[in-house]
Structure 1
Amino acid sequence: MAIDKIRVGIIGAGQNTRKMHIPKLMGLPGVELIEVANRTIASSKKIASEFNIPRVRSSWQEIINSEDVDAIVIGTWPYLHCEASCAALQSGKHVLCEARMAMNHSEAQLMLQASEASPHLTAQLVPAPFTLHADKTIRAYIDHGRLGELLHFQVDFQSNSITNLDGLLHWRRNKKYSGENVMFLGIIYESILRWTVPAIKVSATGNIFINKAIDPESGKQVPIEIPDYLSVQMELENGIHGSMLITETSLHASPPTIKIFGSEGCLKIDFIPDGKLWYGAKADDSMQEVEILPHDKGSWRVEEEFINAIRGKEEVKLTTFNTGVEYMRFTQAVMESYREDGNTKP
């Protein structure tokens, strides 16, 4: 498919959209950013002025219905992902949607159904970024038997709070905008899916330590419903067990890590952008840093992949709507288990 010019509309110019999507799309040949609609007209005009986007729309629906737009980047919080993505696909627009995919598993399924109803359109999610550079190497170590029989894995993701007791409610802890998404749970699980198979059992407990914040819209103190401490146990389809400790209540915490334990060796990745990868065999005294070879090192190429997929040059891999449905299925199951204080099958 030869498409010389691709005209892009922006719905929601959040931090990642301004930092990554807009500049990188502008750097691709034959791509024009022509319309933007943010949460307010004032913020839309500011974005348009900053990036020389010629047309400001007063609502996101105007971009959906615009005959001048070929593709849409949805950079809002999760509350609008399903409605905007489905509407865009039904209007014949290609879609690049920000992570987290949706408010819940049901919305994610609706998005997948909308994409499957229009297979000629590209539908892509922004991928979990932290392990892109190391995914191929991790997968190779597993496939080539460097770890032996896989036994279990451990996720340790601890950080300081994003919401102070006397501070404003962050959107990630606002159920109105985040739904079932909690902290970095879905992002971590998406990364793990690149190396192994989905979960079939989960059990989760948690807590809400910082349980009140100021609603930026009303100015009133409101209760927080999304946990800031979560402990998850799981079993994967291949029988491997895993555990996750994810918190936003840890002072002086160590950098987050994921460790994969096997009968013959162990891998550890520092779960930060371009984090180091470590390996130790059974006979080694300690773990050593793994050199990731240039031809194995992945990188952020989300916008390039999106445009290439529209032009028929490659298929979307990171991340497909199918993968998004899987991580939302897992996220939903974890939150149901947390609320029920018991086991829930994804």
Structure 2
Amino acid sequence: MDTDTVLRPVAVLVGALVVTLIAGWLLDLLLRRADARHGETPLWGLLRRCRMPFRLLLCTTLLYGAHRRVGIAPDYVFAMGRALTLVMIASAAWLLVRIATAVVDSSYARFAAQHPNDARVRRVRTQVTLIQRAVTAVVVVVAAAAMLLTFPPMRAVGASVLASAGVLGIVAGIAAQSTLGNLFAGLQIAFGDTVRIGDTVVVDEEWGTVEEITLTFLVVRTWDERRITMPVSYFTGKPYENWSRGGAQMTGTVFWHLDHSAPLDLMREQLRRILEEIPEWDGRTGSLAVTDTTPHTIQVRAVVTAKDGSDVWTVRCQVRERLIAWLVAHHPYALPRIATAPADPRPGAGAA
């Protein structure tokens, strides 16, 4: 075997690797310097994640441009060119996805830092997340199609598919009706602002927080750490409770069934002291009133507030527990009981 036939491909490969490493190092150096100069945006730091796909794309591009002139046997030139083309398409798609992700994450981080409105920030987060996933899906589909079209038999198949696109479109639309419905429902949620990541919702009598939204499904994390995965079409076709809609502040109620002799004025004072000791209470409302009565008990209701659904649940539980403990310790007569003593006579009954 000719020595030149072996050394030339090795030299080209080594040269491509050296150029790739130097270019990758220079790119990383420039991004680090830009990140140090522009601390107000995380874009340059996030773009450093693109180093690997950039190096892969650059190396395969250099090898593709030189593989026909390195003296490889003609039987292997075509196969090598095809393999390098596929790798280039895949690495280019990878690089585009990384760049799009960096731009979206940077934009969201800057927006979140400049806007203290939590509801608006969560709305933008939901929208950019769905946009990012849609862009990723488009890039992946286009890259896969480009890779398939590099094979000559697939070009003929593509022409026949285009010729019958109308029939196939109708069949695909009928077959994927549910999937397309969820897809459009996901877009409606993203831009209709009906539900956002971080919202507190009640669906199918389950209370939880929206943890993830995609174009087809939505994940709700319940208070006991379970995850409920639901199609996004549920949130466009059925009623549900969104406790964060229009603001995250919440009002909660606590009920007790007590004896008619319960010291209501003292309970109001104790309720105020209890609320002042609970850090989750936001100080807006803390009132107590009798809302109903029965022959044996009265229904006492306390109204409390907090900054969100999670905190209002904590406040309600704390108020219920502490006020019951206070009644047991200082006013046990106020607790419900079954009366077995004779009823007090009416005024003037003895004289009659």
The TM tier, using the shorter chain, reads under 0.3
Higher helix share: 2
Alignment TM-score, normalising by the size of structure 2: 0.20
Return the index of the structure with the highest Cα Rg.
2
Higher strand share: 1
Alignment TM-score, normalising by the size of structure 1: 0.20
